[in-house]
Amino acid sequence: MMDSPLPEAWQRAEVPRLPAIGSDVVDEFARTIYGRTPEGGRLTEVVLRSRDNGVLDGAADRLRHRAVIACPLGNLELDIITHLPAGASAEHPVPVVVALNFKSNEEPSAKVMAAGYAVLAVDYQQIEPDDPAPATPGVRALFPTESWGAVAAWAWGLSRLLDIAGGIDGVDPANAVVLGHSRLGKAALWAGAQDERFAVTVSNGSGCCGASLFRHPGGEDIAAITTKFPHWFVPSFSTYAGNESSLPVDQHQLLASIAPRRVYVASAEDDAWADPIGEYLSVVAAMPAFAPNGIGYHVRPGTHDLLEEDWLHALAFAKR
């Protein structure tokens, strides 16, 4: 299902030869690309630090919580920001979107709040630093394994945010949405593939190792992404650089692995590095795995960004 008219180049594009959609590919994605997310991470404390009512021109209340998550080798502490739509309460809870932010002061818009979802978010680098050699280690140092990359660590964090959501008055964790943009869109897809509590998974401009097909030429490739961001994936993933056709998986299979739960993919026409046509073709190739209205897509004019209209398209899909 397409939420907007497709540009001519999208209409002319053809799905390349791809691996077949299988019933159990998540383990292969873990082995080949993201790494296996370890068991563990128990929420032990959620403390309300502040509440500001009537923010975003009266459309929302802003809550700040400190959460503590017990891991095998120590605790992870997170500063969480939740925006509740006006009128949400323990007696009248609303569904939730969990997301990772690039900056701690990012906020949804009043129109997003009017869509009726709480938005629970954290700065992604509180979970795992976006650095191949961080001065201060993140959550991966709190587990006795090094078999997972930073994208998998951020996906683990999205599941912990959903744990936290269950303890906040006014938030209903059932039918939760997980949403991410760019590298965090990759994390959202990996979280959605592993955590069946997410009813809808939303990927915006996630590109290579996100929604875009490896086997569609265009945009970032394995050589580029593993050279610049080696910490995002398992080290052996770089051996496929320049040889994408030998990968045992492709990203339409990741989308399909989320079925029968629902997926929404968003692209921007001029976001060439994310290969938006490759994202679209991935959706097309994954469609047979989904029920009607089980997977959605839109492409808008513009470049690599998460805009209000992207949010509104995705949440309108989630409500259907």
CA distance 161 to 240: 33
Q: Which residues are tagged catalytic?
A: 182, 304
SS3 letters across the chain: CECCCCCHHHHHCCCCCCCCCCCCCHHHHHHHHHECCCCCCEEEEEEEEEEEEEHHHHCEEEEEEEEEEEECCEEEEEEEEEEEECCCCCCCCEEEEEEEECCCCCCCCHHHHHCCCEEEEEEHHHCCCCCCCCCCCCHHHHCCCCCECHHHHHHHHHHHHHHHHCCCCCEEEEEEEEEEECHHHHHHHHHHHHCCCEEEEEEECCCCCCCCCCCCCCCCCHHHHHHHCHHHCCHHHHHHCCCHHHCCCCHHHHHHHCCCCEEEEEEECCCHHHCHHHHHHHHHHHHHHCCCCCEEEEEECCCCCCCHHHHHHHHHHHHC
